[in-house]
Amino acid sequence: MRGAKLLQYLILGAILVVVPLVVHSGYVMQILIMLAIYGILVLGLEIILGQTGLFSLAQAAFYGMGAYTSALLALRLGWPIWLATIGAMATSALFGAAIGFPVLRLRGDYLAIATLGFGEIFQLITNNWNSLTRGPMGLPGIPRPHVFGIMFDRTMYYYMIVAIFFIALITAFHLCRSFLGRTFRSIRDDEDAAEFMGINITKYKILSFVIGGIFAGLAGSLFAHYITFISPDTFTYTDSEMLLAMVFLGGAGTVIGPVIGAVILTLLPEVFQFLVQWDMFVIGVIMVLVMIYRPQGIWTSDIRWPWSRKDPALAAQGK
Amino acid sequence: MFILKIEAASKYFGGVRAVDAVTADIEEGKITSIIGPNGAGKTTLFNLITGTYELTSGDIIFHDRSLNRMHPHVIHSLGIARTFQNIRLFPTMSVLENVMIGFHSKLKPGIVDLFIPNRYRRVEQSMKERAEAALNLLDILPHAGLKAVSLPYGEQRRVEIARALVSDPEIVLLDEPSAGMNVGEGKSLMQFITRIRDEMHKTVIVIEHNMRVVRWISDRIIVLDHGHKIADGDPEQVLHDPRVIEAYLGKSGLTNYAQVN
CA separation for the pair B251, A253 (Å, rounded): 56
CA separation for the pair A316, B102 (Å, rounded): 35
Of the candidate ranges A33-37, A45-49, A271-275, the one whose mean pLDDT is the lowest: A271-275
CA separation for the pair B139, B58 (Å, rounded): 40
pLDDT at A90: 93
Q: What is the pLDDT of residues A30-42, one digit of tens each?
A: 888 889 999 999 9
Contacts B123 to A, Cβ<8 Å: 179
Q: What is the pLDDT of residues B172-231, one digit of tens each?
A: 999 888 877 788 888 888 888 888 888 888 889 999 887 877 888 888 888 888 888 888
Contacts A183 to B, Cβ<8 Å: 101, 104
Q: What is the pLDDT of residues A214-267, one digit of tens each?
A: 999 999 999 998 888 888 888 888 888 888 888 888 888 888 888 888 888 888
Q: How far is B143 from chain A (nearest CA, A)?
A: 15
pLDDT at A317: 43
Q: How far is A207 from chain B (nearest CA, A)?
A: 9
Q: How far is A205 from chain B (nearest CA, A)?
A: 13
B60, HSE (Cβ side, Cα atoms, 13 Å): 24
> What value does the mean pLDDT take over residues B106-129?
81
Find the chain A residues whose C-beta atoms sit closer than 8 A to any C-beta of B.
Answer: 174-175, 178-180, 182-183, 185-186, 188-190, 192-201, 207, 253
Strand A150-151 with B65-66, pairing: unpaired
CA separation for the pair A315, A305 (Å, rounded): 15
Residue A183 Rama label (left phi>0; alpha psi -120 to 50; beta): alpha
Yes or no, beta carbons of A196 and B91 under 8 Å apart: no
For A149-163, the three-class secondary structure string (H helix, E strand, C coil) is: CEECCHHHHHHHHHH
Contacts B90 to A, Cβ<8 Å: 185-186, 189-190, 193-194
Yes or no, beta carbons of B101 and A194 under 8 Å apart: yes
**Position B260 pLDDT exceeds 80:** no
**Position A306 pLDDT exceeds 70:** no
Q: Where are the beta strands (DSSP E) in chain A?
A: 146-147, 150-151
**Position B259 pLDDT exceeds 70:** no
Find the chain B residues whose C-beta atoms sit closer than 8 A to any C-beta of A.
Answer: 50, 52, 71-73, 76-77, 81-82, 84, 88-93, 97, 100-102, 104-107, 109, 111, 114, 120, 123-124, 127, 163, 167
pLDDT at B102: 85
> What value does the mean pLDDT take over residues B94-104?
87
Question: For residue B242, how many other CB atoms are within 10 A of its CB?
Answer: 11
Residue in B closest to A197 by C-alpha: B102
Q: What is the pLDDT of residues A57-104, one digit of tens each?
A: 888 999 999 999 999 998 888 888 888 889 999 999 999 888 878 777
Q: Where are the beta strands (DSSP E) in A213-260?
A: none
Phi, psi (deg, nearest 5) at residue A65: -60, -40
What proportion of chain A, given as a percentage, has pLDDT over 90?
16
> What value does the mean pLDDT take over residues A121-127?
89
Contacts B101 to A, Cβ<8 Å: 182-183, 186, 194, 197, 199
CA separation for the pair B120, B59 (Å, rounded): 40
Q: How far is B90 from chain A (nearest CA, A)?
A: 5
pLDDT at A309: 47
Residue A178 Rama label (left phi>0; alpha psi -120 to 50; beta): beta
What are the structural domain ranges in chain A?
32-129+149-237
> What value does the mean pLDDT take over residues A131-154?
79
pLDDT at B182: 80
CA separation for the pair A216, A194 (Å, rounded): 27
CA separation for the pair B106, B173 (Å, rounded): 18
pLDDT at A67: 92
Judge contact between A246 and A38, C-beta under 8 A.
yes
H or E stretch including B221?
strand B220-225
Over chain A, what is the mean pLDDT?
83
Q: What is the pLDDT of residues A104-113, one digit of tens each?
A: 778 778 888 8
Judge contact between B4 and B50, C-beta under 8 A.
no
**Position A314 pLDDT exceeds 50:** no
Best mutation target among A176, A196, A300, A314 (most B Cβ atoms within 10 Å) is A196
| Closest Cβ–Cβ partner in B71, B84, B104 for A183 | B104
CA separation for the pair B224, B35 (Å, rounded): 6
pLDDT at B254: 54
Dihedral, B56, B58, B64, B68 alpha carbons, nearest 10: 0
Yes or no, beta carbons of B104 and A199 under 8 Å apart: yes
**Position B110 pLDDT exceeds 80:** no
Strand B31-35 with B57-62, pairing: unpaired
**Position A297 pLDDT exceeds 90:** no
Q: How far is B132 from chain A (nearest CA, A)?
A: 16
CA separation for the pair A282, A275 (Å, rounded): 9
Phi, psi (deg, nearest 5) at residue A134: 60, 20
Yes or no, beta carbons of A193 and B84 under 8 Å apart: yes
Yes or no, beta carbons of A182 and B97 under 8 Å apart: yes
A-B CB pairs within 8 A amount to 83
| Closest Cβ–Cβ partner in B101, B120, B127 for A197 | B101
- Confidence band (pLDDT; 50, 70, 90) for A11? confident
Yes or no, beta carbons of A189 and B93 under 8 Å apart: yes
Residue whose C-alpha is closest to residue B173's, from B91, B77, B252, B79: B79
Higher pLDDT, A158 or A304: A158
Judge contact between A115 and A134, C-beta under 8 A.
no
Give the distance from CA A24 to its chain's centroid: 27
Of the candidate ranges A51-55, A231-235, A314-318, B181-185, the one whose mean pLDDT is the lowest: A314-318
Best mutation target among B101, B127, B175 (most A Cβ atoms within 10 Å) is B101
pLDDT at A2: 65
Yes or no, beta carbons of A198 and B105 under 8 Å apart: yes
Q: How far is B163 from chain A (nearest CA, A)?
A: 8
Dihedral, A201, A206, A209, A210 alpha carbons, nearest 10: -130
- Confidence band (pLDDT; 50, 70, 90) for B136? confident
Yes or no, beta carbons of A175 and B114 under 8 Å apart: yes
pLDDT at A301: 59
Yes or no, beta carbons of B76 and A196 under 8 Å apart: yes
Q: What is the pLDDT of residues B9-53, one digit of tens each?
A: 888 888 888 888 888 888 888 889 888 888 888 888 888 888 888
Judge contact between A201 and A191, C-beta under 8 A.
yes
Sheet holding B80-82, edge to edge: B80-82, B171-175, B203-207, B31-35, B220-225, B228-233
> What value does the mean pLDDT take over residues A169-184?
88
Residue whose C-alpha is closest to residue A111's, from A122, A120, A102: A102
Question: For residue B200, how many other CB atoms are within 10 A of its CB?
Answer: 14
CA separation for the pair A44, A218 (Å, rounded): 10
